[in-house]
Structure 1
Amino acid sequence: MHINWRTTVQVPDYGNDHLNELFQRHLSEATDDDLLAAYLHWAEGRIALDFCGTAEALVERFYSENESLDRLRTPHRSRYASIYQSARADLRHAIEQAIDTTESTLLKARESWRSLCAQTPHDLAGRYRQAGEAHPGRAAVALIGQLGEQNAEAERAVRNALVRYRHEMHRVAVLEQEMATFLASDGSFDLQDVDTMNPYEFEHMVARLARRDGLNVVRSGGGSRDLGADVIALTAGDLRVVFQCKHRHAGVGKVGSRDMQTLNGTARPEHQADIVIAVTNGTFTKPAIDFSRSHTIHLLGRTDLRRWATWGDPLLSVLDLTDAPLTTTAVTPGSDPTYVQVS
């Protein structure tokens, strides 16, 4: 064997003359094939161990990303909470998939390394004289290559998910800034201010909001003879919208079915309403919701009032209505019971 004895690698003294002699004899009898085979066997194991180290670091990084995501909080009462939550859920899904992938590849790589260790024969040179796919280490090292591709794909998926998340956070930051400007304007009514209004002020606020949405208000307040119509407005398509306004002091209290029965008895027969809406800063009882569902009365309670009065969402959008004749209503499953949409 051709050994450059000027190498900095020294043959150790094993503390036993017999062992030292054995090592010297093996070195003197070794061939170039022995040297190359020993190096190849070492290199296969080194590749497997290096991959394990890289995979471990990747797993730790993905867990760290997940922990960072856990520390993020949606801004309190944000208009765009659903965007925050959706973007975070998408990113978390990508990270958790990447964790599953990299932990699986790490386990397989460790098994591959143990397999390589177990394949150390007496005749290493003979092992590598086997051609093509016949030599035992080939499958183990080929597996490392496949595992590396899987980890690279997982890393790309997380990187792309992070890009999408940052894009969504930039978009929502712009929306939040625009919303902050709107909230500071005269067109927005905070629910705390609404709760301190008297019924007359509440009716006029509803009329003002209707005008803000482009409706033509023909009555802006009710009275003792209003026959259940506190505000009347016309849409761009000349549909007649009748509002009954039920203010609750401090936002506490519910509107019952009797009020809905009264509204139902006058809104269409007396006022020729195409769209009938009951609006309150409180909530509605279940009987009121049930009655309204069966008589095509659209309920706008506290949750939706925030969308309309505070956040500036158009009324017909809040109630999921279009400027067209309406027939049936249904309470949205799983939503706040004050939220009613057209079915």
Structure 2
Amino acid sequence: MHINWKTKVVLPSYSDAELNAALQRRVQAATDDDLLSSFLHYAEGWVALSAYEDFDRLLTVLKDEEADSSKLRGDDDSPLRFEYLQAHHQLQRELTAQVAEAQRVRGEVGSGWHALRTATTGELNRRYQLGADPAESGLDAIGPLLRALDPMWLRLEESLKRHADLMHELALKDADYQAFAATPESITLEQFNGMTPMEFEQAVANLTHRDGYIVDQRHGGARDLGADVIATTPDGRRIVFQCKHRRPGGRPLGSPVIQTLNGTARPVHNANIVIAVTNASFTTPAHELAAEQDIHLLFGERLRTWSTWGVPLLTALGLEAPPAAAAA
């Protein structure tokens, strides 16, 4: 055996003399093949372990981002609350998928590293003497996995940037809505609650006019036949509103209101769009009948979207695509 005695490596010394003697015998019996095989084994293990640690770092970052994304919430005081939540959920779905992929790849790299760790000296000598086939060591399988590392980092960066860009876009839109809410044209749900029934009808007519519609009838009466406010859109569609004001805490509106409106809005008033609007709410049977008869129910958050945030009526009802920005 050839040993460079100028090495700085010092043989360990055990308190037990027999252990020292056994170690000396083993060192003295080592061949050049043993030494080179051991070094090659260490080098291959270092490559595999480095790859494992690279994926482990990626996985740690991914899990942290996934945990952070699960804490994101929508702004309850924003008309874009649903859009915020939708963006957060999309980011979380992407990160969850990327975590699963990183765990899988790290597991495959770890399996290759474990196979190297458990190899014996005899196995190493035989393998290296036969030509050191990389496939047998498992490193050949680690190579393609390692080449996937940079694209996985890139996907993470793209997901985070896409989410950040969308948050920026939503924040700008939100600023427009908040600015509109500070104008006299904005009406809050609390303001609706403090109105009389006549004032409520007038407010609905004013909001309709604000959207650029021609208001043909601004309030109802004893002979209104179910139509309190009637308006015409720029493209000629006729909208009929039935306005039902309730004191705060009042009972939800039932299906008879919908039945009355359904019986006159189209046959009598030639309505293209029929809307029942209230500052209260509707019962389940009223919702079911309205859906059957293509009557739109305007209340709660949908009413707030229209009246407080300035979103056009048909957009708030889901009948038209939203504009690029809220009205100012």
Taking structure 2 as the reference length, the TM-score comes to 0.85
Report how far residue 125 of structure 1 moved: 4.4
Instruction: Give, in whole Å, the separation in 2 of the partners of 1:18 and 1:239.
Output: 101
- 1:341 counterpart residue number: none
Q: Give unpaired runs (5+ residues) of structure 2.
A: 321-328
Question: How much is the aligned-residue C-alpha RMSD, in angstroms?
Answer: 2.6
Instruction: Give, in whole Å, the separation in 2 of the partners of 1:113 and 1:318.
Output: 58
Alpha-carbon distance change, 88 to 265 in structure 1, aligned in 2, over 3 angstroms: closer
The alignment partner of 2:242 has SS state of strand
Instruction: Give, in whole Å, the separation in 1 of the partners of 2:214 and 2:135.
Output: 85
- 2:325 counterpart residue number: none
Report how far residue 100 of structure 1 moved: 1.5
Aligned with 2:205 (options 204, 207, 212): 207
Instruction: Give, in whole Å, the separation in 2 of the partners of 1:39 and 1:190.
Output: 76
Alpha-carbon distance change, 195 to 44 in structure 1, aligned in 2, over 3 angstroms: same
* Counterpart contact for 1:213–1:315, Cα < 8 Å: yes
The alignment partner of 1:299 has SS state of strand
The one-letter amino acid of 2:186's match is S
- 2:10 counterpart residue number: 10
Instruction: Give, in whole Å, the separation in 2 of the partners of 1:178 and 1:264.
Output: 37
Instruction: Give, in whole Å, the separation in 2 of the partners of 1:21 and 1:7.
Output: 16
Q: Give unpaired runs (5+ residues) of structure 1.
A: 323-343
Report how far residue 258 of structure 1 moved: 2.6
Instruction: Give, in whole Å, the separation in 1 of the partners of 2:134 and 2:181.
Output: 73
- 1:328 counterpart residue number: none
- Which shows bigger deviation, 116-125 or 66-75? 116-125
- 2:41 counterpart residue number: 41
- 1:192 counterpart residue number: 190
Aligned with 1:161 (options 159, 182, 186): 159
Instruction: Give, in whole Å, the separation in 1 of the partners of 2:280 and 2:267.
Output: 27
The alignment partner of 1:71 has SS state of coil
Q: Aligned pair count?
A: 317
Alpha-carbon distance change, 184 to 134 in structure 1, aligned in 2, over 3 angstroms: closer
The one-letter amino acid of 2:315's match is S
Instruction: Give, in whole Å, the separation in 1 of the partners of 2:108 and 2:4.
Output: 38
Instruction: Give, in whole Å, the separation in 2 of the partners of 1:20 and 1:257.
Output: 93
* Counterpart contact for 2:237–2:273, Cα < 8 Å: yes
Instruction: Give, in whole Å, the separation in 1 of the partners of 2:293 and 2:163.
Output: 44
Alpha-carbon distance change, 108 to 245 in structure 1, aligned in 2, over 3 angstroms: same
Report how far residue 21 of structure 1 moved: 4.2
Report how far residue 252 of structure 1 moved: 3.3
The one-letter amino acid of 2:29's match is H
Instruction: Give, in whole Å, the separation in 2 of the partners of 1:22 and 1:65.
Output: 54
Post-superposition CA distance 1:176-234 (Å, at most 9, x none): 11111011112221111111111111011101111111111122122233333221212
> Aligned ranges for residues 131-142 of structure 1 at < 5 Å?
131=131, 133=133, 136-137=136-137, 140-142=138-140
Report how far residue 247 of structure 1 moved: 0.7
The one-letter amino acid of 2:195's match is M
> Aligned ranges for residues 256-271 of structure 1 at < 5 Å?
256-271=254-269
Alpha-carbon distance change, 23 to 241 in structure 1, aligned in 2, over 3 angstroms: closer
1:84 maps onto 2:84 in alignment: yes
Report how far residue 41 of structure 1 moved: 1.1
The alignment partner of 1:78 has SS state of coil
The one-letter amino acid of 1:19's match is A
Instruction: Give, in whole Å, the separation in 2 of the partners of 1:269 and 1:135.
Output: 80
Instruction: Give, in whole Å, the separation in 1 of the partners of 2:12 and 2:225.
Output: 106
- 2:304 counterpart residue number: 306
The one-letter amino acid of 2:70's match is D
Report how far residue 163 of structure 1 moved: 0.9
Instruction: Give, in whole Å, the separation in 2 of the partners of 1:8 and 1:142.
Output: 34
Aligned with 1:234 (options 223, 232, 235): 232
Aligned with 2:175 (options 171, 177, 180): 177
Alpha-carbon distance change, 5 to 276 in structure 1, aligned in 2, over 3 angstroms: same
The alignment partner of 2:296 has SS state of strand
Report how far residue 254 of structure 1 moved: 2.1
Aligned with 2:246 (options 248, 251, 260): 248
Taking structure 1 as the reference length, the TM-score comes to 0.81
- Which shows bigger deviation, 87-96 or 248-257? 248-257
Aligned with 2:29 (options 23, 26, 31): 26
Aligned with 1:274 (options 268, 272, 275): 272
> Aligned ranges for residues 111-150 of structure 1 at < 5 Å?
111-122=111-122, 124-131=124-131, 133=133, 136-137=136-137, 140-150=138-148
Alpha-carbon distance change, 242 to 71 in structure 1, aligned in 2, over 3 angstroms: closer
Instruction: Give, in whole Å, the separation in 2 of the partners of 1:286 and 1:7.
Output: 87
Alpha-carbon distance change, 121 to 198 in structure 1, aligned in 2, over 3 angstroms: same
- 1:217 counterpart residue number: 215
Report how far residue 296 of structure 1 moved: 4.2
- Which shows bigger deviation, 150-159 or 14-23? 14-23
The alignment partner of 2:276 has SS state of strand
Instruction: Give, in whole Å, the separation in 1 of the partners of 2:250 and 2:21.
Output: 95
Identity between Structure 1 and Structure 2 (%): 37
